[in-house]
Structure 1
Amino acid sequence: MEFAVRRTGRSPRAGRSLAFALGCVAVLTLGVVLTRTVENPYIFFAGYVVIQYVAVATGWNVLGGYAGYINFGPTAFYGVGVYVAAFLVKATGAPLPVTIAAAGATGALLGLAMGWMTLRVQGVYFAIATIALVVMAETVVHNIDYLGGASGLALMPPQAPAWAGGQPQFMLMVMLGIAVAFVALARWIEISAMGRGLRALKASEVAAECAGVPTFRLKLIACAVSGAMLAIAGAPYVYYASFIEPGTAFSLALSLNAIAMPLIGGKRSWVGPVLGALLLATVQQAASVTISSELNILVVGVVLILFVAVAPDGIVGIVEKLTRRRGA
């Protein structure tokens, strides 16, 4: 086997990376095909929400899953991303790439600030601090009349390019590109030295420090990366909805979903948030159409309780256990 690896010049990790890259290309290609073949606009509106949750869950998992610091305030970053984009569109008519970049930079700075002030505490104290961040961010937005305050803000964002086939199709492709990029980043973090360091501090921060792992710096980086990803996920919402309000941008449902989806899919791997988001968000969208949109939070709560009680390692953990049993 060693001879074969040296002869071909390709390691198992290189093979997995190639397969992952081909999978990303296949997903993007499928998205393009769907925008050209499907005519029902609801498919794109619902698909945007599902894919958005893939991006949000993946962004949350960088800090909450890899580092083990449970963030109860993902909507603080998501909402900041929404309102940064709204401000730029209203003030300058900025194009989508500019609003995404600005939202990401703002989210990263907010993540650094939050990390610097709160990462010296752990457990419930850190969780309380992240909840307080949501309250503060929403309160600030409520008191900015230029952004609509509590009443909300209606905007006329730039139209989608002619080649996109329409605004819903364009927004689906934008969010799909963001989600694929986030998953690729999460996978890189997982297999990199940063990922190994985060796993070490999650297992035992004291032991990791004794081994020379720069734990505080790694936590700050994780906060910045997670904050930037969550804010970027919120930036396109202005182009998707054309109307924003604090209650939606900083919603409890989004926070609950962002936490539940990685827990259901599995926090230890980049695959877990993707599986959890696809499963839960699809069920929620189906329930909204067939039964009632009010059942979304109930669905999340019931499914989360079941997984926490029966499969605390999520779907990925179940698959790993089944694989070990078959191997035995």
Structure 2
Amino acid sequence: MPRYTPTADELAALEAFWPWLGSARQPQRGVSAGEVRLGVVLDALANPAARMQVVAGVQSVFDQANAAGGVHGRRLRLIGMNRAWSEEAFALVASAPLPSTQQALRKLRLPSIASLDFQLRDADPGGWQWPLLPSLQQQARMAVEQLESAPPNCMRRTFDPKHWSGAANSDTAPTVPTTEQPLCVAALAPATDVDALRTRWRADGIKVRQLIELSGMRPKLLTEPYLEHQLVLSVPLAVADQAEQQGQSLWFVLGQASARTLVEALARSGPSVVPESLLVQMRTLTGFAPLPGAPLAYSRSSAHGWRPEIYSPASPSSRSSDQRPRKELP
């Protein structure tokens, strides 16, 4: 029988393929016969109270899973942030690492599942970071799409100085001719910059009828007469509802959602789990709801768990309409 000698590239490809096989006899970082060790890195989350709430939310889900026998007979153990980058963690959960450290995920074969950081651009579906929250780019695109449904008699403008939306007609400093025609604006900038523009338009006698902003730029709706104010939410409204019902903070509930997403992906990966198989299962979570009314949008083409939502209590035609007073708006 003829013998075949693989090339150096073929040997490298074969070596990279071995981890995918996974077996009970093949050790994996952070995985033993009785437990899976999972890390939380929250360096990009500045608020200490928010960090504590995220960790508490994750731990509550792990406690529930462990009480039911764990995942494939393994208990889930949450390890400290200072140890998560070591050889002890199988994956990260509910994390918000600094951008400078995100690049290390692939090198370490360390999946970051349902992370809680805000990505500027859309995450790579072939990458190692799977954010739970939509990117700033996704939110900006939704704001521009919402502007397309503005009243027909409205003059439309997009204020997008950083070009987050990628729209061809976005302006860094939109000029508006003096006219009696009302103005509808998608403003993708800090509230202080938007308010400066509105002050200038008001002085010129220009009336703003509709204003669409990102909730990360202006967390509360404006209650001005004749203004239809809409916010693009980075977290589904159902998640804020869940926090109110539980009497918990939004960060606690986000930690729970992230942990439930990871538990589901681990369960689907089978007992011989490896980091790569966990990433494959993330693509199958389309429609899985870690919280009531908040199904995930993960797929082969999207590495973000939730899509942005439009919130406008004044407009019954918007994608999300609500007349109730709200304790917490995401």
TM-score normalised by structure 1 residue count: 0.26
Structure of larger gyration radius: 2
Larger RCO: 1 or 2 (CA < 8 Å, sep 6+): 1
TM-score normalised by structure 2 residue count: 0.26
Query: Higher helix fraction: Structure 1 or Structure 2?
Result: 1
